[in-house]
């Protein structure tokens, strides 16, 4: 995509965040825009970077590693947001600052033991299957606290909060329901683990960003509205 278009799109998303925050009485500084760049060439990330974008989210490990190599001259914060097979955890432990999709202890243990001592602990969000969908990854809400109890013991990880990808819904009012539920789950984790830095709600994509912000999102994950419609299968 043209660099100018990416820059315009980024500015438009930034303005939507500010407008939405004004309407729901939040501070836009609390919200991190994560540019979801899966399927996009490295040059598109570079265009976004020139406009000030620093956080990028990738879903496919091999593709992400290639872009990291191509963009190693840039100070990018890399977030892994796709499903992770346990035999591929090492590259995430070594080359990302965040992972949003941890939903089982085995992956968490591997990421912790593979995180290099020379790096800060890996920031993680636990992914919650908030709509109880058979097809989706994520831990069931009833099992969340038990998993969190194990994860906070792992020295290579820092548990930061929760992530969810709700089922599509037709309007903002309906979209709010799963986000309110995720925010409630984070609040109960805070009460269970008061010593942890549980400050992150990773929720909201292009179609439901505003609903997520009104419910307390601190990271919004936006692909299409920055880089355009993805035209090859994910
Ligand atoms: C692709 C993807 C996004 C971005 O979705 P858009 O609708 O293109 O904004 C956000 N989060 C995750 C986990 C994704 O896989």
pLDDT tens column, 174-203: 999 999 999 999 999 999 999 999 999 999
**Which residue among 34, 58, 64, 205 is best mutated to probe the pocket of ligand 1, counting the most ligand atoms within 8 A of its Cβ?**
205
pLDDT tens digits for 124-169?
999 999 999 998 999 999 999 999 999 999 999 999 999 999 999 9
| 231: in domain | no
Cβ-contact 121, 102 below 8 angstroms: no
The predicted model scores a pTM of 0.97
Alpha-carbon gap, residue 36 to 86, rounded angstroms: 22
What atom in ligand 1 is closest to the CA of residue 225? 9
Question: How high does pLDDT run on average in the chain?
Answer: 97
Alpha-carbon gap, residue 21 to 19, rounded angstroms: 5
| 229: in domain | no
| 118: in domain | yes
Q: Quick check: 109 pLDDT over 90?
A: yes
Q: How confident is the model at residue 231 (pLDDT cuts 50, 70, 90)?
A: confident
pLDDT, average across residues 28-47? 98
pLDDT tens digits for 20-31?
999 999 999 999
pLDDT score at 130: 98
Domain with 26, as residue range(s), is: 3-224
| 164: in domain | yes
| 232: in domain | no
Q: Quick check: 63 pLDDT over 60?
A: yes
Ligand 1, CB cutoff 6 Å, lining residues: 36, 38, 59, 81, 165, 205-207, 221-225
pLDDT score at 214: 98
How many domains would you assign to the chain?
1
| 168: in domain | yes
What atom in ligand 1 is closest to the CA of residue 34? 10
What atom in ligand 1 is closest to the CA of residue 224? 8
pLDDT, average across residues 80-104? 97
**Which residue among 35, 56, 57, 201 is best mutated to probe the pocket of ligand 1, counting the most ligand atoms within 8 A of its Cβ?**
57
| 218: in domain | yes
Structure tokens, 220: 């919004």
Distance in Å, CA 57 to ligand 1 centroid: 9
| 75: in domain | yes
pLDDT, average across residues 72-101? 98
Q: Quick check: 33 pLDDT over 80?
A: yes
Cβ-contact 64, 78 below 8 angstroms: yes
Which position has the token pair 């994560």?
A: 34
CATH of the domain at 178: 3.20.20.10
What atom in ligand 1 is closest to the CA of residue 230? 8
Instruction: Give which of 68, 99, 72 is closest to 83, Cα–Cα.
Output: 99
pLDDT score at 46: 98
Q: Quick check: 13 pLDDT over 60?
A: yes
pLDDT score at 233: 59
Q: Which 3 state secondary structure label does DSSP give 201?
A: strand
Distance in Å, CA 223 to ligand 1 centroid: 5
What share of the chain in percent tops pLDDT 70?
99
Instruction: Give which of 63, 124, 69 is closest to 93, Cα–Cα.
Output: 124
Q: Quick check: 53 pLDDT over 80?
A: yes
């Amino acid at each position: 995509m043209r660099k100018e278009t990416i820059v315009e799109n980024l500015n438009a998303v930034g303005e939507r965040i500010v407008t939405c925050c004004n309407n729901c009485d939040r501070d836009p500084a609390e919200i991190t825009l994560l540019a979801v760049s899966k399927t996009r060439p490295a040059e598109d990330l570079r265009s976004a970077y020139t406009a000030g974008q620093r956080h990028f989210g990738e879903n496919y490990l091999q593709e992400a590693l290639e872009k990291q190599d191509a963009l190693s001259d840039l100070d990018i914060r890399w977030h892994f947001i796709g499903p992770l097979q346990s035999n591929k955890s090492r590259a995430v432990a070594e080359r990302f600052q965040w992972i949003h999709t941890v939903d089982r202890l085995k992956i968490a243990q591997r990421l912790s033991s593979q995180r290099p001592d020379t790096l800060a602990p890996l920031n993680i969000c636990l992914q919650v299957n908030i709509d109880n969908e058979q097809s989706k990854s994520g831990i069931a809400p009833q099992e969340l606290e038990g998993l969190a109890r194990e994860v906070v013991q792992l020295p290579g990880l820092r548990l930061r909060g929760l992530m969810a990808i709700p089922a599509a819904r037709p309007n903002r009012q309906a979209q709010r329901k799963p986000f309110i539920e995720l925010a409630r789950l984070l609040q109960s984790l805070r009460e269970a683990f008061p010593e942890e830095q549980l400050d992150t709600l990773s929720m909201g994509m292009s179609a439901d960003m505003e609903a997520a912000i009104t419910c307390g999102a601190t990271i919004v994950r936006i692909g299409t509205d920055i880089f355009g419609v993805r035209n090859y299968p994910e």
